[in-house]
Amino acid sequence: MKKTIAMVLVTVLMLAAFPVCEGENLQILRGPVIGIAWRSDTDSEFFTNICRAIESAGGEWVLLSQVQSADLEYDSEGHLIQGVTALGSLDEASAKYVRVNTWHDSNAAEAVGNVGIVLFTGGEDISPSLYFSPEPWHGIVEEIDFCAERDVSDYLTMTYCLDHDIPIMGFCRGMQMLSVVSGAEVIQDVPAYFSELGVPYGYEHRNQKATPDSYRDYAPHDVQIVSDSFLYEMVRSNVLTGCPSWHHQAIRNVDNTRLVITGITETNGVQMIEAVERTDKTFAVGLQFHPEAALVKHLENADNRNDSMDYDTALSIFQWIVEERYLEQDAADAA
């Protein structure tokens, strides 16, 4: 099913001066390294949990540089000077440059460098101007969460990786970006989607806050997994229980794209997409849920840790990445 590995085996040649950030310290990289796509808010748990998961699996990581488009204008701190709406999303004119020109005339090649795989973490909504068929904002005032600079950087980084068949994996927003780049349709607000269907929704994909200032925890649910998929190879099961979920957007369908659906969950009779992959690439996988959150809950002995998948299962996903088993599996498929 996977593309012949000879076209893409990424031999990671680490330079002695190539650093990986760990807190405030720098380390010399030894062996394969995982690149994490740029984001400015490195205090976010969507970032720090991924870092801890990689380290727990014995891997090393580096935060990639921001990727900027030569078609857009930035200030000295990397903020867009123009092209940002009042909501913080990317406006349609600027988004068209990004969609049409993709990574060309950008610093994507320098930012990605020689990393063996790039991970795209969770976070803000993706500007609807970047969709294959651009849409207006969903209009829900309590759900305004955009970062135009990150949208551009992620879109350019991902298209560069896909065009050069560099392995990638996306979590939550990262899966949504893989789907957007691939031309899939997006559900901009899951509660509104269920309302449109006339189906009750109990916030099974992201808990409601008890108060405006309280912590919004993850909502765990099960995911049904397709056997012939990378996700199945990671967890060796057709059912993954306790998948921590934290999203109000999702992928509506992957029709007329090169994506295949490899994981679903059923919510009140409605099938929701939970995992996708690009079978035309060596390894391009997206998970709508957060195994890294489950892993960290177990590490921190959180009271609700057993509501999520067990530690070994969560760890196995990141060990699979760190140990480059996606390349081993591709080699086996090609044999």
Question: pLDDT (tens digit, 0 to 9) for every residue of the chain, 335 residues total?
Answer: 443 333 333 333 333 333 444 333 333 333 468 999 999 999 999 999 999 999 999 999 999 999 999 999 999 999 999 999 999 999 999 999 999 999 999 999 999 999 999 999 999 999 999 999 999 999 999 899 999 999 999 999 999 999 999 999 999 999 999 999 999 999 999 999 999 999 999 999 998 876 777 788 999 999 999 999 999 999 999 999 999 999 999 999 999 999 999 999 999 999 999 999 999 999 999 999 999 999 999 999 999 999 999 999 999 999 999 999 888 766 666 66
- Is residue 6 included in any domain, yes or no? no
Which CATH number covers residue 227?
A: 3.40.50.880
pLDDT at 32: 65
- Is residue 77 included in any domain, yes or no? yes
Query: Percent helix, strand and coil across the chain, each rounded to 5?
Result: 30, 20, 45
- Which residues contact residue 70 at a Cβ distance below 8 angstroms, ignoring those fewer than 6 apart? 105, 106
pTM exceeding 0.75:
yes
- Which residues contact residue 334 at a Cβ distance below 8 angstroms, ignoring those fewer than 6 apart? 2, 4, 5, 6
| Beta bridge mates, 239 | 224
Exposed e or buried b per residue across 139-150, where buried means at least 16 C-beta atoms within 10 angstroms of its C-beta: eeeeeeebbbbb
pLDDT at 15: 32
Alpha helices (runs of H) in 268-310, residue ranges in sequence order: 291-299
- DSSP class of residue 115 equals -
The 10 Å Cβ neighbour count of residue 74 is 17
Domain count, the chain: 1
Exposed e or buried b per residue across 14-46, where buried means at least 16 C-beta atoms within 10 angstroms of its C-beta: beeebebeeeeeeeebeebbbbbbbbeeeeebb
pLDDT at 331: 64
Q: How far apart are CA 271 and CA 288, in angstroms?
A: 13
Q: How far apart are CA 169 and CA 275, in angstroms?
A: 11
Q: How far apart are CA 286 and CA 288, in angstroms?
A: 7
- Is residue 93 included in any domain, yes or no? yes
Q: Which domain holds residue 307?
A: 30-334
Task: Retrieve residue 187's tokens.
Answer: 């559900």
pLDDT at 334: 67
Alpha helices (runs of H) in 10-105, residue ranges in sequence order: 45-56, 92-101
- Is residue 20 included in any domain, yes or no? no
Query: Where do we find the tokens 């709406």?
Result: 85
Q: How far apart are CA 324 and CA 332, in angstroms?
A: 13
- Is residue 11 included in any domain, yes or no? no
Of the candidates 249, 242, 248, which has an alpha carbon nearest to the alpha carbon of residue 302? 242
- SS3 of 132, please? coil
- Is residue 166 included in any domain, yes or no? yes
How far from 314 is each of 5, 292, 307, CA to CA, in Å?
Answer: 26, 7, 13
Residue type, 90: L
- Is residue 18 included in any domain, yes or no? no
